[in-house]
Structure formats: C-alpha cells, structure tokens
Amino acid sequence: MNHHGIRNLVCTTRFARLYSKLTEDEIRSLQSLPFLKNLDTTPQPLTPEQVSLLSVEESKILDRLPKKKREYINKKIATLKPIFRKGSSDMLDYRITDPAYSHVTPFDVESSKRLSVTKLLTKGWCELRKMYDIYAQTDIFKSKRVAEGSKIHSTLEERTHKKTKDVLEIIDSYNIENLLQEFNEKWLELEAGHKLLDVPSAEGEHVEVEEILDLELFAEDIFSQGWCNNVSRLYDLCTNGEAREILVHGYINKSTGKFVEGAIDSKSEDLILISGVIDHIYVPNHPTWDSSYSPLDGNHIDENDDMDATFKDIDVLLNHPPKETEAPWVYHLGDVKTRAYNNVPLQENVVNASKLQVMYYKFFFRNLCTQPREHTFQKLVHNAHYRGLDPYKYLQSEQVFSLFVQFAFFRKDLLKLKDGSIFQDEVLDGGSLQVLTQEANAAPEYDQEKLNYYLQRFFPDWGFEGKWVYWPTLEYFARRMSQLYSRVLSQPNSSISNELSIEYYNKRNMLFQKTEFEYDENYFKQNLESSVAFWLGKRLVEPIDPLVDDNLNTYCKKCEYRNHCFWKFKRMENLQKMSTKSKKLGTMLQEINRSLCES
C-alpha cells in the first residue's frame, strides 16, 4: 500500500462514519432492500502490511518529538507491556492481560491512596489513555508549556495576595542558618559546654551542632505552609471579596460511591480523600467591607524595629457579625486555564471536563462553608491523618519563624498561642483546645528558646520570651480554617453562585476569553458515580471511539499510546470493513443508476 493508500485508509469516507452510527436493525433493513441483497458484507480485516504501514507513519510523528519526551513515553510503554500486552504483538490491550493484575483496580495502583479532582475527570481526553497513565505510575511530563502555565498561576496569585514591602525586606534580611548557628553557640554556653544538644533528630537520636544545620523539616512543617497560606487567603476572601488558590476537600464512601456530606467516621476504612484547589473566587462589584471596625488592628511595632508590620487579627473579624449591605455577597468560582495562543480547546471531552472540574469545586466549597463547623474541623484533622501526618505534632522553630515573617495574621495568632489567649471559647470535637493539644504539642525547651531567640533578634519589644502555653500545630490551622469557611457565608443574603466560569490566559498573562456556564448538580453527580466506579474497578474502561465524528484526528493522533493502542487498531479494522462495504455499495448504486438511465 502506497502513501496515498494509507492516507485514504486513515482519512475515511463520510459514508463509513455515517455507517458506523447505524443500529443493527437499520443495517438489516438496508441489507433487505432488493438491490442490496447481493452486497458482500464479509469482514475484511486490516492486513499485517496495512497495520505495519500505519505504525511506520505514526512512528514518524514520535521521532519528531524531543528526546526527553520520547524517553518518557518509552518508559511508560515498557511499564505497561507486561500488564496489557496483547498476545505476542507490540500492542497494548484495552483490558488487563496479566493474571497477577486481574483484581488490581486503578485505585489500588494509586500510591497516595487519595485522589484529586483532576484525577476524577477520567474522560477529560480518552479514558483508556487515563487508565494507561495510572498503571504506568509516572509523573506528568514537565514540558515548557506546563512550566509556563505554573508561572502564570503564580503571577495571578501574587497580584491578588500581595506581600507587603516590610515582609519582603525581612525575608531578604535574615539568614536562618546564621541565626541557628548563633543560637546554638549561645545554647552550648548555657549547657556548660555539653557536646551534644538536647534536640532529637528524625530518628530520635541526638545530633551535634554542625549536623543540626542540615536537619530537614518534617512533613508536618512542609504541609503547614499550604494550610497557613489557605488561612490567609480565606481571610482575604472574607474581607476583600477575592482570593486565589483556595483549598477544598471532601470524602467519598467506597461502598456507596457518594460524597459524605455530614460528619465522617474517622476510623472507617471506606473513606477516600478527594482534594482540589479553586483557582479563583470573587465577588463581582463587591461592596466595601461594611463594619464599624477595621479588619486590620492598628498596632504597629516600634519604628526602629526591622519590620514595621501591621497585624491582621482574625478574631476581630470573627467576633463582629457583618452588617447588612445594599448588595449581597455572591461568590463566583472560576478555573484558570493557560494557553500558548489566543485559542480555546474545541475537543468536546476537554470542554466537558473543564466544566465538571469547577462543579466539583463548587460542591466542595459549598459543603465546607455550610456544614456545621465541627464537621469541617473534623474533616480537616482527618485530612492530615489520612496523609500520614500528625496534626498535634509541634512545628519546628525554623518553620514557625518563616510563617511569622510571611503572614500578618500569624503574627497576632502567635502572640495568642504563646500566652494561651487563643480559642478561648472554642469547643470542637467534644473538648477544648487545651484538652486536645496541650500535652501533645508541648515543644521541648530547646525549641521554645530557639524560637524566642529568632523573634527577639528581629522584634525585641514584642514580648517573645519565657515559656509557651500553646505551640503551633496543624490542628491549630484546622481550627482557623473551620472558622473562616463558616464565616464566608455569614454576610446577610450571601450565596455561592450557580454561574461558574473558565478563564483562559495566554502566555503574556492576559485574559483573552471567559466561558460561563451553569452548575448542574445532576450532571455532576452522574459523572461522579461513573468516575468512582472506574477507579474502584466496578466498571470497564470506556475509550473514545475513533470512528465517531473526527475522533481519530482529534484524540488518537495526539495520544502518546497511538502506536501501541490495540483498541484503536481494532476499530481501524472495523473502519476498513465499512470502507469495503461503502465501495461495494457505491459500485452497486452506480450500476443501478446506469440501468435506470438506459431504460
């Protein structure tokens, strides 16, 4: 078969596509027509030569990819072949062929044992490609376009949540390693020259002064950065009517395949954590924050200090109910998509998945904001447990100091944690903060003195000296978040809009299109049920059909598995059969037409 023949085979006739949409009854009705009775419909599979030539043509596309991308694809194929190999061929079957994997579900393969919203969008391209990606267990390829997209997201964040000049100056002015070295030298003097410091390493052993400089942060310290960010952004949302990168989450019950909307059983093994990040929440034309007080506490540190910072006092916000305004606060949710040029995706699966993604976010956000606050708190604490983190473990001094510098609200809260005046009236999960955390999070004297030293070094008049009543933990952040989620809809007549949007930005950080659509809870829940069934192995994979519309060119030709996809080649065989039928039918109709003309 020459190049022209290959092209004709791949770019099929319009009749073949129409024929593929006929039902069995319709086909039988056509075949019963007198002038079609003798039409030979014997299946004509693709010959080995045709399959080989198709592979050669598509391999040329692969050869044009950058070397790193080719290596990335080949690594995935090598991982998948033992699991999906089709006989002795080089094809990947659309069903698992390795008996050892016969009962292994996609969720069993998921190493984190939790899912993101984007992972629930199994039909965002082709579900078969999604399944291959899951079993390949390979991270997303970090292309230049992905890096540019991340940069655009970061730029949008910085525009909305600006760091004040004083914060930027203090970040530039301190070197944590130098501070730590200074403190350790003083600590050794206090300890009368003891060689070993009284501080545990990750393994529970003691470390020397030189070694502590390389002591890595614990997982809880790293995770606290995200939760602290979220508290700050929720505060901005409640006061300014706009925020970006807001964390949301929920739980799916494996037995029912549905979201848990009330309290959860934290001991249940049926829960699957689902998490997501809302790119943009805003109140269009939001009114000025209507209250008799300022959201910022006017207390400033001494002008001679290194940072002339303003406190943000969350308790001031929480303890003063908002007044009625002329315009209600209606929160709109949007997802940000980045594009190299000013064009938007036209693939139906991609568009539908983008809309579903924002529907998931609205559902999560609404639940976090409207359910009883103790349920939100409980789910946040379980979120940490689910990830293998200890929500009651004290954070290391270096991380606490870093958060103190970055976040204005945390400065005021840290003073309250130290003197024990925080969460005075809080009763959640059956007990007070003191009952829940005081024993578990009591930081060693070394850490308390170390943090005091850091803070006094830059802020000598703030009163950071002596023992701490409470110490920052993930549980503390869970409490603050549960308070602020509940605060979002406390404004009279406030609501979360059913009008959702997708915002498209180009590589110059310009918004060039905004697509708006309505929230459809029935559609959302149907897709949720289908997606959960896929992840738990309760239904078979549902690939796109290359023969429907222009799927072959729209999806298959852009797929990393196109050279190894048995599903595609199987459908191509059917395409060849229909092509043969259409040619024979065309010849028959021409003969009938000639006969009619001659008569």
Euclidean distance between CA atoms 10 and 4, whole angstroms:
10
H-type alpha helices, 459-536: 474-488, 521-535
Strand partners, 258: 253
pLDDT given for residue 214 in this prediction: 39
pLDDT digits (tens, 9 = 90+) for 67-121: 888 888 889 999 999 999 988 788 999 999 999 998 999 999 988 889 999 999 9
Tokens matching residue 445? 């004297």
pLDDT digits (tens, 9 = 90+) for 420-436: 888 865 554 444 444 44
Residues in the chain: 599
- pLDDT-based confidence at 266, cuts 50/70/90? confident
DSSP for 213-282?
TTPPPPHHHHHHHHHHHHHHHHHHHHHHSEEEEEEEEEEEETTTTEE--S---TT-SSEEEEEEEEEEEE
pLDDT given for residue 6 in this prediction: 40
- pLDDT-based confidence at 21, cuts 50/70/90? low
- pLDDT-based confidence at 154, cuts 50/70/90? low
Euclidean distance between CA atoms 505 and 513, whole angstroms:
7
Average pLDDT over residues 58-65: 62
Most confident of 10-24, 30-44, 389-403: 389-403
If one compares 229 and 438, the residue with the highest pLDDT of the two is: 229
pLDDT given for residue 78 in this prediction: 93
Residue 491 pLDDT > 90:
no
The single residue listed with the structure tokens 């970006």 is: 244
Residue 399 pLDDT > 90:
no
Euclidean distance between CA atoms 415 and 459, whole angstroms:
12
Low-confidence winner among 7-11, 196-200, 308-312, 587-591 (lowest mean pLDDT): 196-200
- What is each CA distance from 438 to 202, 420, 441, in whole angstroms? 22, 10, 6
Residue 517 pLDDT > 90:
yes
Residue 500 pLDDT > 90:
yes
Low-confidence winner among 200-209, 468-477, 488-497, 555-564 (lowest mean pLDDT): 200-209
Which residues in 155-173 are b (16+ Cβ under 10 Å) and which e?
A: ebbeebbeeeebbeebeee
Residue 295 pLDDT > 50:
no
Measured over the CA atoms of residue 363, residue 364, residue 369 and residue 373, the dihedral's sign is: positive
DSSP 46: P
Euclidean distance between CA atoms 406 and 402, whole angstroms:
6
pLDDT given for residue 599 in this prediction: 59
- pLDDT-based confidence at 329, cuts 50/70/90? confident
Helix (H) or strand (E) holding 428: strand 427-428
Give percent of the chain with pLDDT exceeding 90.
35
pLDDT given for residue 67 in this prediction: 81
* First-last CA distance in the chain: 39
pLDDT given for residue 1 in this prediction: 42
Q: How many CB atoms lie within 10 A of CB 208?
A: 11
Average pLDDT over residues 281-301: 50
Determine the distance from the C-alpha atom of residue 469 to the mean position of all C-alpha atoms in its chain, rounded to a whole number: 36
How high does pLDDT run on average in the chain? 76
Strand partners, 242: 282
pLDDT given for residue 220 in this prediction: 92
Indicate the residue type of 146.
Answer: V
Euclidean distance between CA atoms 291 and 20, whole angstroms:
65
Q: What angle do CA 497, 479, 498 make, to 5 degrees?
A: 5
If one compares 66 and 346, the residue with the highest pLDDT of the two is: 346
Euclidean distance between CA atoms 111 and 113, whole angstroms:
6
